[in-house]
Amino acid sequence: MRAPFPASSLLRSRAEFVVILTNGPHFDLLNAKRRLILPEYNTPESAHNMAKATKKKTDDKINLDTILFKCRDILRKARNSGSFFEKRDMMLTLVFLRFIGEKFEDGVKNLRESLIAQGLDPDDEAIFAAFFDDATFTDGTYNLPAEARWSTIINTPAPKLNVALDTALHSIATGSNQLKGCFVEGTFTTRNLAANDIKQIVDEVNKISHKAFGEEKDLIGRVYEYFLKEFAVNATKEEGEYYTPHDVVQLIATMIEPFDGTLYDPCCGSGGMFVQSTDLIREKRGDISRINVYGQEKEAATYRLAKMNLALRGISHNLGGESDSTFTHDLHKGLYFNYIMANPPFNLKGWYDENLKHDSRWANYATPPESNANYAWILHMLSHLKPLDGVAGFLLANGALGDSDTVEIRKKLIQNDKVEAIIILPRELFITTDISVTLWILNQNKKGGKYHGRNLRNREGEILFMDLRTWTGNPVKNEGKKKVLLDAAQIRRAADIYHTWQSAGTDGNAYAVPELYRSVGIREIEAQGWSLVPSKYIEFIDHDLEIDFPTEMARIQKEMRELMAFEKQSQKMLADAFKGIGYKL
């Protein structure tokens, strides 16, 4: 017989006793017995209904992950499919062809409708030649030659598909400077998958439609995220590529409001940060032409993907002329940006080079430790912020808040009034890692003034600390691991806390809510050894003191009596059931 409580438990408080009592193993045992014994769980009708529900659930689950899983499975079994990176790049290139092809088809359809609305016949030979032979689209849609269109690819016989796909890529690369370099020409004939394999994959990709999965979502980035999640052996908990979830990007963008000017990401990955930020800009301001994005990416395949993603979205961008390391070859040296948004690789090792020892980016601070790039990222971003009013929002592992080997750099950042806010985020926001991370906000202007129509107060000598670790009430379903997200209301709430703290009329000395946020002066931070760990400053309440112990125990006692009575009844029903078929318990 199992003990009702964990044998190793040492009850540190009355409240812990209550928690253990109400979450003991007998609850699951009783639920299991209820399912086994109660008649409504064992009728033919219930079995039929359960089968229907299972079938409906299966039908409903034809989603993007299902399609990508099938493609992954086909590629795993196929001969000549190559390494993980080659499989990933093949899939992303196919999705690119599908996406650009569907956008072209939509563009032609819209153009036809526009001509008809103007009283013109799009099927008239002269009209067709004038508008469609060399069509120009105002929404960033690319005019594709016949051999590069998805309608041509999907109707190509299986034995000719590899050649047809590479022909489409070559045609796109030679016809558009913007799209040149977004992919590797010859991808499909080099791999030369068997006709049946490439046909199956193309048919699956044909199901990926921006109409079905959301035109304004980062569809290319979502495919990239899937393959990171399923395959990437280099993405460990402390180092590697992390696709930034949509809700986290929305949180950063809602806080720093990158609505006009220049936006920079020094480790831009697939370009998802840019794509999702411009979605917010469209929503708030309606015109993405007011923002110009700059970025850099070290990995060649991911650099091509970012160019592909941004070009498809019609986003003006400068990612430099090549892929390269931001630290050893800064492609945007000497440029300063209005906004920086980034999600650097957490705790990156192997970043250092002897030539970086006296680099100008940290000349006024100290050389970041070779063992970890966290503070190298911070100082690199700070060096690219516009000196008068640049704002940066970026993610780092929580260890950066109090590392002993970076205390001198952190001290100077605080003394120089560069750090504006530190926000701890909930765990399990990312698919590829479950660690909790911190959103840092740096601001070159804490003196106040106008900002996007808001009157800001002087915030010099203050830092806002927020702790959102308890905001875990929105679990994401149908993921391979536990994952949560921040919903729109939570994002607004967090941004409101930050913006209210910034605003004229707020008293920074009294701006606090226990267990959520607090504005803190530099003297108090100095007294804490220049630590930026929020729990050192935000008040936490001992909730044990709030429990009415006699009342709570009386409630639990009543529930336990009822449960014990039900368990006794269940045991009798179970014994009778066995007795009815000739067996005794």
Q: Percentage of residues in the chain with pLDDT exceeding 70?
A: 81
- State residue 351's pLDDT score: 94
Give SS3 for 114.
Answer: helix
Q: For residue 399, give the DSSP letter.
A: G
Residue 168: pLDDT band by 50, 70, 90 thresholds?
A: very high
Domain chopping of the chain, boundaries: 64-215, 235-536, 552-580
| pLDDT on residue 50 | 42
Q: For the chain, give the mean pLDDT.
A: 82
- What lies within 8 Å, CB to CB, of 578 at 6+ separation is 584, 585
CA distance 416 to 561: 63
**Nearest by Cα to 82 from 240, 197, 234, 208:** 197
Contact 48, 579 (CB under 8 A): no
| pTM for this entry | 0.74
Looking at residue 464, what is its pLDDT?
A: 98
Stretch 293-316: mean pLDDT: 86
Q: What pLDDT digit, counting tens, does each position of 501-550 carry?
A: 999 999 999 999 999 999 999 999 999 999 999 999 999 876 556 677 78
Alpha carbon of residue 341 to chain centroid: 13
Q: What is the CATH number of domain 64-215?
A: 1.20.1260.30
Q: In which element (H, E) is residue 556 found?
A: helix 549-580
| Whether 242 contacts 345, CB under 8 Å | yes
Distance CA 356, CA 370 (A): 10
DSSP 318: E
DSSP string, 474-538: -BPSS-SS--B---HHHHHHHHHHHHHHHBTT--GGG-EETTTEEEEEHHHHHHTTT---GGGTS
Of residues 133 and 38, more confidence is placed in 133
Q: Are strands 454-456 and 449-451 parallel, antiparallel or unpaired?
A: antiparallel
Across 300-329, average pLDDT? 88
pLDDT of res. 305: 83
Q: Do domains 64-215 and 235-536 have the same CATH topology?
A: no
Longest dimension (CA), the chain: 91
- What CATH code would you report for 235-536? 3.40.50.150
Q: How far is CA 10 from the centre of its chain?
A: 39
pLDDT at 202: 96
DSSP run (H or E) holding 231 = helix 219-231
Q: Are 436 and 424 in contact (CB under 8 A)?
A: yes
What DSSP string describes 9-38? ----SHHHHHHHHHT-THHHHHHHHHHHH-
pLDDT digits (tens, 9 = 90+) for 381-420: 999 999 999 999 999 999 999 999 999 999 999 999 999 9
Pair 376, 351: CB distance under 8 Å: yes
Q: How far apart, in whole angstroms, are the C-alpha atoms of residue 429 and residue 477?
A: 13
- Highest mean pLDDT, choosing among 22-26, 263-267, 311-315, 553-557: 263-267
**Does position 6 have pLDDT exceeding 70, yes or no?**
no
Percent of the chain with pLDDT over 90: 46
pLDDT of amino acid 74: 93
- Tokens encoding 20: 């253990």
